[in-house]
Amino acid sequence: MLADRLSIPSVLFLILAGIAVGPEGLNLVGLDSFGGPEPLSGIVGISVAIIVFEGAFHLKIDKLQQAPREAFRLVTIGALFTFVATATVVRFALGVPWSLSFLVGALLIATGPTVITPILNVISVRDQVGAALETEGIVNDVTAAILAVVIFDLAVLGDTGLTALLESFVARLGVGVLVGGVTAAVIWYLLKHLDLTPSNAVQNARLVVLIGAIATYGLAEAIAPEAGIAAVAAAGLILGNSDLPHEDEIEAFKGDITLIVLSFVFISLATLLSFSELVSLGLGGILVVVAVTLVIRPIAVLFCTYGERFTFREQLFMSAVGPRGIIPASVATLFALELRSTSPEQATVLVGSVFLVILMTVVFEGGFARHIAQALNVLPMRVIIVGGGRVGRGLAERLEDRGENVVIVDKEEDAVETARNAGFSAHQGDGTDTSVLKAAGIENAKIVAAATANDDANLLIAQLTNTNYDVETVIARVNTPGNVEAFEELGVRAISANDAIAHEMDNAIERPALSEWMTELGRSGDVQEIEVTSDRLVGKSIKELDEYLPDGVLIALVSRSGNSQIPTPELTLQRGDHLTFVGRRDAVHAAIERCHPNP
């Protein structure tokens, strides 16, 4: 509740609560509170299974397709680079054997849904950014868990070569995926064909999925240790994209259960944190944290997300938000308990280095994630464009150039595929269906643009939006001029395609210089409007503001109380004024950043 009130990811408060009630705080909870390491291991294992299953269940195919290349690079090249680079830093910074270094490197691959999802719940980044981070978190949780167990079994406890390590990794992963696929098919069959009592259908469906997730984990673990994480991830991904009955109720139920077990696991594991183990690492431990967060993570993200899909600011945000969570904490704790009898020094290094990275990344990256996003200006306005044709894509391109979070909705598969290939976030479905609009994120949208070639569809979309959702602006494309009045009666801003073309042609005939300038402005320039909300701007004159703005941008218009005027140098700005900037695209964007309340 505190996290929700302050719009700060909950994991920060959970880990601090665990420290507060643990041996380093009030000493109310410790390992003995759980009956020892084995009971805690079982409880944590089941809890993690539920968390990973729920995260995978929410990872829809449409979301995966928002940034497929970049997400694939992050979970392959990025994970491999993080693994090797982290192990190398641990080896030389802490002076430990390579076997232990690679074990720490494997654990610190994981970011995971337990830490990424709470951050994305309070920070509305573009869909492409969220999809890449969520996919990386879920897949790397699986990779880290299996790889760490394989290294521990074969390298730390024994002396086995690389070939055996790879074979064991692939075998566990294969067992997990196979078990997850089979159990997902069984759960799907039960929900689709079992004659559930209508009065208890929703409750029974939720329980079948929950029990199925736990059974999936237990069955895979019985076959191969740590294959359970891969199994529940595979089962969750399959079921989440299988059009289950009562899917909304299942998602809500799973979300509540996940919140409970997430809170329990974070607090319980944080109670095992020992400050003495962190301090014992000395400067080497600090070097590991700095290298992992400020060197290795940024290099991996910048390399894996190169291209036009992400802006440089978004890449920096993804680099700065990679907190570690449940998987490294739980697995490191269990390994350390096993190592204490044979190699207490290695156990101290293992727990100390892993928990130090977790603590620092959760506190600074998780706790300050919103501030990082605001500083980098990656909190866009969500815009839903219904219609993925040339008009819809053209509008989306202009809006995304300004950094807005645009989602295109179209019922035609070819149009959706074309939009995605062009780098846009696209959702397939009928835009006149409220469930489709909801899936596209209309509940968080500020603008909806109906841009199909069908006026009836555009009118219905406008009606649905105005009636059911709190959207600030609804804009509709009108293909037949005679229909403009019907749109305007609904309070919808109607843009007539014929009138717009006629106006543009008239400009080219009567005002050729102006027409040419506007065309050039559309190619390399920009026009943007902002509201004066910063205390630094209130009371400034236009002349003073001009000196503050970069070259290549002009204040073309000032709007106050519904009246617009071309500003004079002496005009003094008031709070709530709207300024229209005109100029080169980069200069306009720089001017907006300088006038932002929190630059």
Pair 438, 548 in one domain = no
Please give the average per-residue pLDDT across 272-283, as a whole number: 83
| Eight-state DSSP code of residue 381 | P
Check whether residue 157 and residue 276 sit in a common domain.
Answer: yes
Alpha-carbon distance of 454 to 414, in angstroms, equals 18
Q: Is residue 179 part of a domain?
A: yes
Of 11-20, 218-227, 490-499, minimum mean pLDDT range: 490-499
Q: What is the pLDDT of residues 463-474, one digit of tens each?
A: 888 888 888 888
- What number is the average pLDDT over the span 138-159? 78
Query: Among the three residues 323, 357, 376, which one is the final residue of a domain in this structure?
Result: 376
- Judge whether 141 lies within some domain: yes
Angle formed by the axes of helices 127-151 and 312-320, to 10°? 40
* pLDDT at residue 597, rounded to an integer: 61
Identify whether 507 is part of a domain: no
Query: What average pLDDT score do residues 203-213 get?
Result: 89
More confident residue, 312 or 330: 312
Cβ 221 vs Cβ 176: under 8 Å: no
Among 145-154, 284-293, 571-580, the range of highest mean pLDDT: 284-293
Chain length of the chain = 599
The pLDDT value given to residue 596 = 66
- Between 271 and 214, the more confident residue is 214
Q: 392 and 354 share a domain?
A: no
Is pLDDT of 520 > 80? no
Which pTM was predicted?
0.69
Please check the confidence at residue 215 and state whether its pLDDT lies above 90: yes
Domain for residue 387, yes or no?
yes
Would you say 429 and 439 are in contact if contact means Cβ atoms under 8 Å apart? yes
In a domain, 510, yes or no: no
Structure tokens, 479: 């293909």
Residue 52 is predicted with a pLDDT of: 84
* pLDDT for the residue 76: 92
Cβ atoms of 352 and 333 closer than 8 Å = no
401-430 in b/e burial notation, b at 16+ Cβ within 10 A? eebbbbbbbbbeeebbebbbeebbbbbbbe
Decide: 309 and 128 in contact? Cβ < 8 Å. Answer: yes
Q: What gap in Å lies between CA 383 and CA 122, rounded to an integer?
A: 18
376 neighbors 317 (Cβ within 8 angstroms): yes
- The answer to whether residues 362 and 103 touch, using CB atoms and an 8 Å cutoff, is no
Report pLDDT for 158: 62
CATH code at position 557: 3.30.70.1450
Confidence at residue 521, expressed as pLDDT on a 0 to 100 scale:
61
Judgement on whether residues 115 and 247 belong to the same structural domain of the protein: yes
Is the pLDDT reported for residue 319 higher than 90? yes
Q: In terms of DSSP H, where are the helices of 422-511? A: 434-439, 455-468, 484-489, 497-510
Do 303 and 399 sit in the same domain of this protein?
no
Q: Tens digit of pLDDT for each residue in 97-141?
A: 888 999 999 999 988 777 787 788 777 788 788 888 988 888 888
> What are φ and ψ of residue 495, in 5° steps?
-115, 110
Q: What is the mean pLDDT of the chain?
A: 83
Q: Which amino acid is at 571?
A: L
pLDDT in tens, 254-269: 888 888 888 888 788 7
Beta partners for residue 526, in sequence order:
583
Q: Is the pLDDT of residue 522 over 80?
A: no
Tally of structural domains, the chain: 3
What is the structure's pLDDT at 49? 86
**Distance (Å, whole) CA 530 – CA 533:** 9
Residues 400 and 344 in one domain: no
Please indicate, yes or no, whether residues 410 and 478 belong to a single structural domain of this protein: yes
Mean pLDDT on 296-322: 90
Out of 327, 359, 376, pick the residue that ends a domain: 376
Cβ 346 vs Cβ 325: under 8 Å: no
pLDDT of residue 599: 42
**Secondary structure of residue 526 in the 3-state scheme:** strand
Q: Does position 157 have pLDDT exceeding 60, yes or no?
A: no
C-alpha distances out from residue 540 to 462, 526, 543, 559, 575, Å:
40, 24, 8, 15, 11
Q: Are residues 333 and 400 in the same domain?
A: no
Strands (DSSP E) along 152-288, which ranges?
none
Identify the band that residue 161 occupies on the pLDDT scale cut at 50, 70 and 90: low
Residues 161 and 252 occupy one common structural domain = yes
Binned at pLDDT 50, 70 and 90, residue 182 comes out as very high
Rounded mean pLDDT, 197-204: 73
- At residue 105, the pLDDT reads 93
Which of 376, 406, 436 lies at the terminal end of a domain, its last residue? 376
**Could you tell me the CATH number of the domain that includes residue 102?**
1.20.1530.20
Phi, psi of 578 (to 5 degrees): -110, 125
145 contacts 227 by C-beta, under 8 angstroms: no
Phi, psi of 466 (to 5 degrees): -65, -35
Asked if residue 567 is part of any domain, the answer here is yes
Q: Are residues 140 and 223 in the same domain?
A: yes
Residue type, 70: E
User: Is residue 566 domain-shared with residue 454, that is, in the same domain?
Assistant: no
Q: How confident is the model at residue 505 (pLDDT cuts 50, 70, 90)?
A: confident
Three-class SS state of 48: helix
Q: Please indicate, yes or no, whether residues 28 and 73 belong to a single structural domain of this protein.
A: yes
Q: Max alpha carbon distance in the chain (Å)? A: 89
Domain that holds residue 431: 382-500
36 vs 449, residue with greater confidence: 449
Q: Is residue 434 part of a domain?
A: yes
Joined together, the tokens standing for residue 310 give 């992400």
Is residue 569 in a domain?
yes
Backbone angles phi and psi of 484, in degrees to 5: -60, -40
Buried b (16+ CB within 10 A) or exposed e, 169-189: beebbebbbbbbebbbeebbe
